[in-house]
């Protein structure tokens, strides 16, 4: 593709995306293709000769679109938000066009320096502890996902508690980790990958929240048994019901035992952009590491997880291996950051561009307004649920996630959810709380307004009436 052809096809592709933004609300939210349908439409073998770009774009409409669940629809209430925005998409486009690898400062200085600067900006915007700023021993990095951030935290904690031995010769004693039963599955995945083992992950919660007294007891028991407590993972905003662990007291327990505290605030952490929600992140001054995802709820396209460390030394010590072919003067001067040592892979994309574009082109006030609007919509809906004779709230609503249940029991709730999702007019998912089926409405699409929430609430009530009326 010559630059001139790229310009022409690029305009067509951008037109296509702009058209998609305009019509996404009118599309059935949930894809209903049968398993295997998309593949059945594709040729068995790759083309040997070039095909016209128009034909490829036409096949996006014919083959790909039926298999898309529309995460950008204002009627998408499932799982968690996965924001996209115009500036962020354009930032991605430029990052693709530049096609740089930001593994070393020397391999593209702007890729590293813009990222460091964005992470420092975000410390200020979220009012995070100043020990996360790059000017001290700590600093921040963009990871692909919160799962990778948690894995890096576990690896860094393992390095610290074994004084570097675990990654080189293997730990002498079993290492242990602690989290609530509602912590994200990525915590168990991380302790498996890092070699601690699932059986050394202790679940210490009361009612789904990490309990400081239970935590203290569990750490003491492990120490008495000769094990090495390595890391506590606290969650600010659990995936299932948006519970917040009591960070200040958990932090004190971690500090008293010298155990690494990682805080996972994948979705809810960005709410701290608004001062009135900062009480939810109180206690972060105890954290050794912290992560939150602008790709969930801050207008930045996947992937963009922000990960900060109080002291970067343990992570770098765990992950830095320097082959001759990566040696360079800038690294050896000790004056630059080489982000390859802050993550699992070597190569890295220029993700900071899309965050920079989003913050500059939308502005912080618009992002604050979006978060406030979503929270107001969620609390408004919660009030209507509480006032309804047949529905009840299944969890508190501190931010944008509404967990509700029809009083008719699991079968009725399942029917309600299936009916709403089959309609194509909205899409929601479920969880279980104390063994009971709970419907989750996650309000976080940038386009979601009051009329969409009103719409899904009407759908839920209509589906409930149909579910409890025999025949
Ligand atoms: N942690 C929490 C609390 C989450 O809610 C999620 C996703 O829902 C994750 C971690 C995983 O996020 P990611 O997809 O960025 O790995």
Region 136-165: what's the mean pLDDT? 95
CB of 147 within 6 A of ligand 1: the answer is: yes
Nearest C-alpha neighbor of 123 from the set 319, 290, 326: 290
Region 198-212: what's the mean pLDDT? 94
171, pLDDT greater than 90: no
CA dihedral 272, 273, 275, 277 (to 10 degrees): -40
pTM above 0.85, yes or no: yes
The model's confidence at residue 116, banded by pLDDT at 50, 70 and 90, is very high
| Residue-wise pLDDT tens digits, 312-337 | 999 999 999 888 888 888 888 889 99
CB of 293 within 6 A of ligand 1: the answer is: yes
Helix and strand numbers (H, E) in the chain are 17, 13
Is residue 176 within a helix (H) or strand (E), and if so which, with residue range?
Answer: strand 175-179
| Residue-wise pLDDT tens digits, 62-86 | 999 999 999 999 999 999 999 899 9
CB of 146 within 6 A of ligand 1: the answer is: yes
Best residue among 267, 268, 401, 403 to mutate for probing ligand 1, ranked by most atoms within 8 Å of CB: 267
Q: What percent of the chain has pLDDT over 90?
A: 92
CB of 262 within 6 A of ligand 1: the answer is: no
Predicted local distance difference test score (pLDDT) of residue 373: 98
Q: What percent of the chain has pLDDT over 70?
A: 100
Nearest residue (by CA) to ligand 1, atom 2, is 266
Whole-number Å distance, alpha carbon 266 to ligand 1 midpoint, is 5
Alpha-carbon distance of 340 to 108, in angstroms, equals 12
- Report yes or no: 356 and 378 within 8 Å, Cβ to Cβ: no
Best residue among 82, 187, 238, 266 to mutate for probing ligand 1, ranked by most atoms within 8 Å of CB: 266
| Residue-wise pLDDT tens digits, 1-59 | 999 999 999 999 999 999 999 999 999 999 999 999 999 999 999 999 999 999 999 99
User: Which of the pair, 324 or 305, is modelled with greater confidence?
Assistant: 305
Query: Burial level of 141, CB count in 10 A (0-12/13-18/19+)?
Result: buried
The model's confidence at residue 471, banded by pLDDT at 50, 70 and 90, is low
Best residue among 152, 184, 233, 270 to mutate for probing ligand 1, ranked by most atoms within 8 Å of CB: 184
Nearest residue (by CA) to ligand 1, atom 6, is 266
Nearest residue (by CA) to ligand 1, atom 14, is 145
| Residue-wise pLDDT tens digits, 349-367 | 999 999 999 999 999 999 9
Give helix 352-362 / helix 86-98 axis angle, nearest 10°.
Answer: 150
Whole-number Å distance, alpha carbon 53 to ligand 1 midpoint, is 36
Best residue among 239, 289, 399 to mutate for probing ligand 1, ranked by most atoms within 8 Å of CB: 239
């Amino acid at each position: 593709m010559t630059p001139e052809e790229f310009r022409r096809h690029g305009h067509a592709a951008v037109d296509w995306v702009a058209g998609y933004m305009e019509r996404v609300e009118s599309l059935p939210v949930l894809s209903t293709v049968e398993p295997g349908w998309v593949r059945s439409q594709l040729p068995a073998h790759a083309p040997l000769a070039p095909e016209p770009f128009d034909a490829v774009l036409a096949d996006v409409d014919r083959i790909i679109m039926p298999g898309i669940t529309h995460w950008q629809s204002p009627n998408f209430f499932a799982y968690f938000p996965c924001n996209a925005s115009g500036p962020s998409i354009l930032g991605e486009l430029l990052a693709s066009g530049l096609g740089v690898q930001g593994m070393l400062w020397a391999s593209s200085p702007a890729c590293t320096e813009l990222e460091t600067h964005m992470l420092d900006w975000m410390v200020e915007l979220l009012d995070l502890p100043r020990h996360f700023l790059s000017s001290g021993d700590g600093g921040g990095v963009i990871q692909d996902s919160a799962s990778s951030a948690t894995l890096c935290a576990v690896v860094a904690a393992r390095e610290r508690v074994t004084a570097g031995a675990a990654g080189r010769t293997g730990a002498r004693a079993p290492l242990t980790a602690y989290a609530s039963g509602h912590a994200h599955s990525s915590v168990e995945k991380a302790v498996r990958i890092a070699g601690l083992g699932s059986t050394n992950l202790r679940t210490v919660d009361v009612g789904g929240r990490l309990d400081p007294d239970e935590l203290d007891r569990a750490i003491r028991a492990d120490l008495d048994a000769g094990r090495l407590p390595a890391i506590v993972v606290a969650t600010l905003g659990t995936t299932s019901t948006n519970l917040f662990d009591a960070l200040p007291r958990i932090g004190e327990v971690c500090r008293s035992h010298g155990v690494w505290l990682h805080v996972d605030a994948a979705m809810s952490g960005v709410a701290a952009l608004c001062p009135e929600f900062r009480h939810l992140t109180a206690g972060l001054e105890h954290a050794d590491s912290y992560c939150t995802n602008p790709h969930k709820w801050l207008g930045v396209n996947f992937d963009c997880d922000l990960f900060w460390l109080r002291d970067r030394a343990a992570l770098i010590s765990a992950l830095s291996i320097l082959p001759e072919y990566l040696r360079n003067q800038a690294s050896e001067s000790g004056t630059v950051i080489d982000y390859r040592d802050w993550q699992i892979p070597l190569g890295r994309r220029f993700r900071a561009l899309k965050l920079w574009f989003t913050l500059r082109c939308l502005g912080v006030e618009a992002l604050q307004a979006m978060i406030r609007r979503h929270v107001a919509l969620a609390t408004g809906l919660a009030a209507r649920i509480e006032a309804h004779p047949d529905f009840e709230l299944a969890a508190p609503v501190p931010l944008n996630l509404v967990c509700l249940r029809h009083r008719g029991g699991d079968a009725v709730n399942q029917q309600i959810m299936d009916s709403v999702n089959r309609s194509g007019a909205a899409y929601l998912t479920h969880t279980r709380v104390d063994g009971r089926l709970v419907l989750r409405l996650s309000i976080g699409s940038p386009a979601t307004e009051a009329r969409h929430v009103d719409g899904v609430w009407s759908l839920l009530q209509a589906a409930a009436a149909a579910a409890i009326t025999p025949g």
